[in-house]
Amino acid sequence: MQPGRWLERRALALLAVATSAVLAVLFYYPVAIVFADAGGVASFVDVFADEFLVREILGFTAYQAALSTLASVALGLPGAYVLSRYEFPGRRTVRSLTILPFVMPSILVVIGFVAFFGEQGLLNDLLGLAGLEVGSLLYNLPAIIVAHAFYNAPLVARVTNAAWESVDAREVETARSLGAGRFRAFVDVLAPQLLPAVLTGALLTFIFTFMSFPIVLELGGFEYATVEVWIYGLVRDLDYAEAATLAVLETGLSLALTYAYLRYEARQASASRAARPPARKRFLPDDVTTGAALERVGVGAYGLVVAVVFGGPIVSTVVESVTGPSGFTLRYYAFLVERQATGAAFQTKPGVAVWNSLAFGVGTLLVALPMGVVVAALADRARSRWGRAVEALAMAPFAVSGLMVGLGMLRGLVFGVPLPVVGRVRVGGALAIVAAHAVAAYPFVVRSVGPMLGTVDRRTVESARALGATRFRALLDVELPLVAAGVVAGAAFAFAISIGEFDSTVILATGSTSYTMPVAVERYLGNRTLGPATAMGTVLLVVTAVSFVVVDRLGGRWEYG
Amino acid sequence: MRRRTFLTAGSTALAGLAGCIGAGGSDGTETTTSTTSTANTTAQAELSGTLNVATYSSFVDAPSSSPGKWVKRQFEKEYPKATLQWQTPDNEVTHFLQRKAQGLDVTTDVYVGLNVDHLITIDEKLGDRKLFVPMADSLSNYGHVKDDLTFDPDGRAIPYDTGYISLVYDGTTVDDPGTFDALAGEYADDLIVENAQQAATGRAFLLWTVHEYGPDGYLDYWQRMTDNGVKVLGSWDAAYTAYSNGERPIVVSYSTDRVYAHREEGVNMDKHRIGFPNGQGYANPEGMAKFADAKNPKLADAFLDFMLSKKVQSKIPTLNVQFPATDWAEPGEEFRKYAKEPDQPVTYSYDDLKGNVEEWVEQWARQVAR
């Protein structure tokens, strides 16, 4: 047998082994180190006996996460609809940019929100022109929820859009020709194809907002403390036992939810179809009916909401970077240039940060994409209860507190792993950062590809296999093209996660020049004005926006073949 | 704890930084400065090698006037055979505490940026394993350190500067609250405070209220605060951002605020007034210490003495915008004019805090988060 053929036969198994190895070293081992600090059953009983922790902390955390999830879905779904069903100039660019909020460091979001929704914010200025005055909209629960929707509605929109791009329109047409009304056809035919994606988006949002930390305190206030805030306080006092107990609870809850969802999803996946999305509508309809007109008005109103919730804070951040106490200024950008030119070796240089971010982003994409596709493909085949459990475990990287992962990486990787014979093996620098980013990013690839893979007609794969294709070849040539939209969305997420990642990066970059753009934003904050940090933030936004468009264009070339 | 919340540097001192670069570039000779005695120079010529000094990142990396660059250049000028290398681990001093706790060596020589909280945590977690060594007595410049700033009974942490926590208020919209009583009363809904679990300013302010009302009374005081609408935000950055954007006119910050404010062109100084409730300010001295495992202990000693020298102490107020910790510093006109010192500095000592601080903070958090 030719070596190439041998390799191809075992490609899936080899990739699975490599994926497991990366996960074991960069995720499970570090997390196990910190979770081992959690006490026995008694410490968990203590937590549950503590009324304050259960009601005020755990209870409130779940409550705000549920509200945030509802808001994100409500804000994200219309977006998915518009992006999937309408054709307009710049549609693909807009789709590429949807994930932009996802990469914004929390302090930039705080600055953007205060500068837009605040007492003296842009929104109040604009409303003032119309004679309205609403005052500050911040420091309450709605502010937290809107900020969470700012981060997560794009996620819901993007995941749902990917599913919508691969529905089979012929089924809708069949239903219509059999006498089903538009609404009936949507509910019975289209909705079941979209629901897994919508629920995936909701699940991810819930877990994310359940573990939210800086935003809740900085746009809400300490009375809105979450579990993660409490864990931070404990870690700060080096009270690792109680911190680990809470973190284990937090992770257990997220994983249980993921598992329950995956079982549900497995029961739903049944359709057999090809990706053949319906033709898109144009903004100005050919024949004007009342329904069409009403729909356009709705889309316009939604556009206004998007402009306020997403456009407002982002534009305000950029405005902040060119505004000094006496008006327009470019000196914060001059600072970036000067730091690049004359900064000392131990100082943070913007150019280095941009370069690192891009390199890590591409590296992450190249590692996380195969990892995610392999896990999705394997999980898709194992339809048993255990298969779901393994899949839920594979999703663990976003179900563990970022603070705890960081702590584990410091103690397990930066300080070194004690091994027999060779001694302490330290993991750090650029390669470790890429691997850590890939670990954080691959669940998004799994979640973007998995639900869609479940709906691919098994017979197409079986035909390919009967004709002599290896399992790997069938995946590559038959299945993946059918779920291309999911793969491209997964790639975009992987890139975005890498650009936005902070907790692991700062720890693994210790003592090296492997810092990234969000780290640079953070370091430029040591100051009474927000100028340098917002200028660096604007650089981050521009660089990421351009990269998203490029990633999507390259992906689109393959997607639309 | 994010140390950038603790120490921050001025905003528009780009010009000042450029000035320093110019001065350094034109002075490449190895002649020692006139303030150094000839007796020192032989030792200075002999001390060699690399000195690894760890600190928090804004000490070397803040966008304007961080002292790191200047300190390195001056130190290497005085010790021509030595190289100073800055390290800024993300977890700051906790990084080394964790290494030690795991039984690993610490290869760094000196840490700059310790406070009394850190010492208490270190002593509670490490017990007999020594992270730092006592050294106050062996430093020749230690006699110049102000007595009321020393915070380590064992003489490990040597104070090199201090800040005073105070109120910063916008004089165009509110008056100086004047007293703690008024602060929790009519001014509470004008006030932004930082989270005591997270930000050094927030923790200092909490300890200040414990100092004022006692361990038995501070929670009642905070109950009044929350009933009357005080806002507790996460980090110093978030709090100060809210304050500068007019969300609320009073924020807990540092009494050096006006030094930064006046450096920014076009700032209305009335918006940056300093308030000392009951005439007090809470002192937060910063210290440096030598690691017990220091690879280059002699050079480390020299560095600590260097940091206490008149030259460095006189420059700290400009570059780190903190009060010098010694009696011989000449902070300069700008600092004298804009930095405010409270009539009555208060602070808790190591012994007062040990065994108490964690409990005080936790009780506070449980009450406020409710």
What number of C-beta contacts closer than 8 Å exist between A and B? Answer: 181
Of the listed ranges A230-239, A381-390, B210-219, the one predicted with least confidence: A381-390
In this predicted structure, the answer to whether residue B32 has a pLDDT above a threshold of 90 is no
In this predicted structure, the answer to whether residue A22 has a pLDDT above a threshold of 90 is no
Would you state the pLDDT for residue B366? 94
Of the listed ranges A103-117, A291-305, A388-402, B262-276, the one predicted with least confidence: A388-402
Which pLDDT band holds residue A383 (cuts at 50, 70, 90)? low
Which pLDDT band holds residue B41 (cuts at 50, 70, 90)? low
Which pLDDT band holds residue B7 (cuts at 50, 70, 90)? very low
Residues of A in contact with B264 (CB under 8 A): 324-325, 528-529
Would you state the pLDDT for residue B270? 95
Which pLDDT band holds residue B29 (cuts at 50, 70, 90)? very low
Counting residues of chain B whose pLDDT is more than 90, the rounded percentage is 76
Of the listed ranges A140-154, A273-287, A401-415, B31-45, the one predicted with least confidence: B31-45
Question: 3-state class of B282 per DSSP?
Answer: strand
Which pLDDT band holds residue B25 (cuts at 50, 70, 90)? very low
Residue B252 distance to chain A (closest CA, Å): 14
Residue B138 distance to chain A (closest CA, Å): 30
CA distance linking residue A102 with residue A108, whole number of Å = 12
Would you state the pLDDT for residue B180? 98
The one-letter amino acid code at B340 reads: K
In this predicted structure, the answer to whether residue B51 has a pLDDT above a threshold of 60 is yes
Closest by CA position to A190, among listed A200, A201, A182: A182
CB atoms within 10 A of CB B302: 21
Residue A114 distance to chain B (closest CA, Å): 7
Mean pLDDT of B115-139: 92
Instruction: Give the DSSP per-residue string, A494-515.
Output: HHHHHHH--HHHHHHTTTSS--
Chain A residue with minimal CA distance to B105? A415
Would you state the pLDDT for residue B6? 32
Which pLDDT band holds residue B26 (cuts at 50, 70, 90)? very low
Residues of A in contact with B261 (CB under 8 A): 528
How does A130-167 read in b/e, with b if 16+ C-beta sit within 10 Å?
Answer: eeeeeebbbbebebbbbbbbbbbbbbbbbbbbbbbbbb
Give me the count of residues in chain B: 370
Which long-range CB contacts under 8 A does B96-102 form with residues at least 24 apart? B96/B54, B96/B131, B96/B291, B97/A238, B97/B121, B97/B122, B97/B125, B97/B126, B97/B131, B98/A410, B98/A411, B98/A415, B99/A415, B100/B126, B100/B129, B100/B131, B101/B125, B101/B126, B101/B129, B102/A411, B102/A415
Chain A residue with minimal CA distance to B96? A415
Query: Are B91 and A136 in contact (CB < 8 Å)?
Result: no
Pick from B9, B91, B365: which is nearest to A526 by CB?
Answer: B9
Residues of A in contact with B89 (CB under 8 A): 510-511
- The mean of the pLDDT values for chain A is 88
Tokens of A552: 């999507």
Task: Decide if A107 touches B, using CB distance below 8 A.
Answer: yes
Give the best residue of B14, B53, B90 to mutate against chain A (max A CB count within 10 A).
Answer: B90
Residue A221 distance to chain B (closest CA, Å): 5
Chain B residue with minimal CA distance to A219? B233
Give the best residue of A527, A536, A539 to mutate against chain B (max B CB count within 10 A).
Answer: A527
Interstrand relation of B231-233 and B273-275 (parallel, antiparallel or unpaired): unpaired
Mean pLDDT of B222-227: 97
ipTM over 0.90: no
Residue A139 distance to chain B (closest CA, Å): 8
Residue with tokens 């009539």: B343
What number of CA atoms fall less than 13 Å from residue B347's CA on the CB side?
A: 23
Would you state the pLDDT for residue A180? 86
Pick from A110, A139, A527: which is nearest to B9 by CB?
Answer: A527
Tokens of A209: 């907002």
Residues of A in contact with B257 (CB under 8 A): 528
Query: Are B370 and A529 in contact (CB < 8 Å)?
Result: no
The one-letter amino acid code at A296 reads: R
Interstrand relation of B273-275 and B158-169 (parallel, antiparallel or unpaired): antiparallel
Mean pLDDT of A34-40: 87
Mean pLDDT of A108-133: 91
Would you state the pLDDT for residue B264? 82
Of the listed ranges A307-321, A342-356, A541-555, B37-51, the one predicted with least confidence: B37-51
How does A90-118 read in b/e, with b if 16+ C-beta sit within 10 Å?
Answer: eeeeebbbbbbbbbbbbbbbbbbbbbbbb
Contact A35/A404 with Cβ under 8 angstroms?
Answer: yes
Query: Are B198 and A511 in contact (CB < 8 Å)?
Result: no
Angstrom distances, CA of residue A283 to CA of A83, A299, A421, B295: 12, 9, 69, 71
Would you state the pLDDT for residue B87? 93
Residues of B in contact with A57 (CB under 8 A): 369
Which pLDDT band holds residue A1 (cuts at 50, 70, 90)? low
Chain A residue with minimal CA distance to B102? A411
Q: What is the CA radius of gyration of chain A?
A: 24
Residues of B in contact with A107 (CB under 8 A): 235, 237-238
Query: Are A507 and B69 in contact (CB < 8 Å)?
Result: no
pTM: 0.89
Query: Are A238 and B94 in contact (CB < 8 Å)?
Result: yes
Closest by CA position to A200, among listed A166, A167, A155: A155
Of the listed ranges A325-334, A505-514, B115-124, B203-212, the one predicted with least confidence: A505-514
